[in-house]
A = this chain, B = another copy of it.
């Protein structure tokens, strides 16, 4: 039976499977350490569009297209889509995925939205209300700078605690079944929507036997919903420190609810705390009796080469954790290198209005337990 566990966690009776996923990123991310793993890398930040916002919409559109294609599914096979982004009124989502005509449930959890989407997708399927749902989130460096900070044209100097918003979108097909038959024509070749936009396509999937079944990449076996945590920090150029208390809160609650310990996970993966936030999180949890220093990993730290690409504190954005999950984390689970990880995207809840009115930057973090699918 599905059940609530402890104060803020839930456990589905049966695992919910991540059947397929896709990642689409910008050129900077393509040149980073995970570059070869992304499905689609844009030639430039505009992706053939006229505005940054349109470009971000396009990221979502392409990520959904690829994730559907990899699972050999059509839009009408999907019961609903959980989606969100960082822009005011989530316009990247509204203009990105409408053409699929899939019932939409829009989310806002700042950079934690990927976790929230996977969490609610799991609830929807495990609750018996859907067979397949899609989750997609995105962020874009230029649209985010415009939304939250200064026009790029100012050439404003960024402090070392600042993050570099990831240009990217990750999409995930969640499914009740771990394996489905592959329709004959569903290969990556058929998924290339506009080759001109891509400098490089991952060939991993094209080499698979097109007659074989499609096996899930991983499964969700537990979820913990985060609450807003506000330590009163007001520096929008230090999001890591703003989000760390919320991630510590969700993580501690997760350990209590599931009666688990840091070492029960091969990795505990935060979304975009970066170097500053990582230090704060590890310290906060040490004070509460948990040492996660050996298993902690942060998508914002992994996605860029700190020496060569100088992202300052690290990457961030709704897209950061999503593309790292799709390209890297699920690969590790698929290949059996990791058996069980805790994936916890982290969000900083601010707007330019709240910042200009002198408000603090509260944080939130949602966690999902991801496990390898037994072969």
Contact = CB atoms under 8 A, between A and B. Distances in A.
A172 B2 CA distance: 23
A267 to B, nearest CB: 23
A265 interface: no
Given A13-B128, A105-B107, 7 more contacts: A80-B225, A88-B353, A89-B349, A98-B229, A101-B227, A101-B228, A105-B119
Nearest to A146: B353
A252 interface: no
Given A105-B116, A108-B84, A128 B1 contact: yes
A3 B128 contact: yes
Contacts of A352: 88
Interface string A253-268: 0000000000000000
A53 interface: yes
A147 B2 CA distance: 41
Contact of A2 (B10, B102, B127): B127
A94 interface: yes
A7 interface: yes
Copies of this chain present:
2
Interface string A93-133: 01101100111111111100000100110011011111100
Interface in A228-246: 228-230
30 contacts: A2-B127, A2-B128, A7-B76, A10-B130, A13-B128, A51-B357, A53-B354, A84-B108, A88-B147, A88-B351, A89-B349, A89-B350, A91-B350, A91-B351, A91-B353, A91-B354, A95-B359, A98-B229, A98-B230, A101-B228, A102-B227, A103-B226, A104-B227, A104-B228, A105-B107, A105-B116, A106-B116, A107-B108, A123-B129, A147-B353
A227 B350 CA distance: 28
A146 B88 CA distance: 13
A94 B160 CA distance: 27
Contacts of A106: 107-109, 116, 364
A148 to B, nearest CB: 8
A151 to B, nearest CB: 13
A72 interface: no
B228 A94 contact: yes
A147 B127 CA distance: 37
A373 interface: no
B109 A105 contact: yes
Interface in A124-153: 124, 126-131, 146-147
Contacts of A229: 98
B353 A104 contact: no
Interface string A61-94: 0000000000000001001100010111111001
A8 interface: yes
A2 to B, nearest CB: 4
A123 B130 CA distance: 10
A120 B120 CA distance: 8
Contact of A89 (B51, B86, B102): B86
A25 to B, nearest CB: 22
A129 B84 contact: no
A109 B105 CA distance: 7
